[in-house]
Amino acid sequence: DAKTTQPPSMDCAEGRAANLPCNHSTISGNEYVYWYRQIHSQGPQYIIHGLKNNETNEMASLIITEDRKSSTLILPHATLRDTAVYYCIVSGTSYGKLTFGQGTILTVHP
Amino acid sequence: NAGVTQTPKFQVLKTGQSMTLQCAQDMNHEYMSWYRQDPGMGLRLIHYSVGAGITDQGEVPNGYNVSRSTTEDFPLRLLSAAPSQTSVYFCASSYSRGGTGTRGYTFGSGTRLTVV
| pLDDT (average), residues A73-77 | 97
B16-26 pLDDT, tens per residue? 999 999 999 99
Instruction: Judge whether residue B104 has pLDDT over 70.
Output: yes
Q: What is the pLDDT of residue B6?
A: 97
The DSSP symbol for A82 reads G
Q: Are A33 and A39 in contact (CB under 8 A)?
A: no
A81-104 pLDDT, tens per residue? 999 999 999 887 655 578 888 899
Amino acid identity, residue B100? T
Closest-CA residue of chain A to B56: A95
CB contact under 8 A, B105 and A32: no
Q: What distance in Å separates residue B45's CA from the closest CA in chain A?
A: 7
Q: What distance in Å separates residue B59's CA from the closest CA in chain A?
A: 9
Q: Which residue has the higher pLDDT, A96 or B44?
A: B44
CB contact under 8 A, A43 and B99: no
| pLDDT (average), residues B52-56 | 93
DSSP letters spanning A18-81:
EEEEEE-TT--TTPEEEEEEE-TTSPPEEEEEESSS-EE-SS-EEEE-TTSSEEEEEETT--GG
CA distance B79 to B76: 10
Looking at chain B, how many residues does it have? 116
| pLDDT (average), residues A13-37 | 93
From A30, A44, A92, residue closest to B107, measured CB to CB: A44
Contacts of A22 in chain B (CB under 8 A): none
Q: What distance in Å separates residue A13's CA from the closest CA in chain B?
A: 25
CA distance B104 to B84: 30
pLDDT band at B102 (very low <50, low <70, confident <90, very high): low
Reduce the DSSP state of residue A14 to 3 states and report it.
coil
| pLDDT (average), residues B34-63 | 92
CB contact under 8 A, A93 and B56: no
Q: Which residues have a Cβ under 8 Å from the Cβ of A101 and sit 6 or more positions away?
A: A3, A4, A5, A6, A87, A88, A89, B42
Nearest to A22 by CA among A43, A39, A37: A37
Of chain A, the percentage scoring pLDDT greater than 70 comes to: 94
Average pLDDT, chain A: 91
**Which of the residues A36, A95, A105 would you substitute to probe the B interface, choosing the one with the greatest number of B C-beta atoms within 10 Å?**
A95
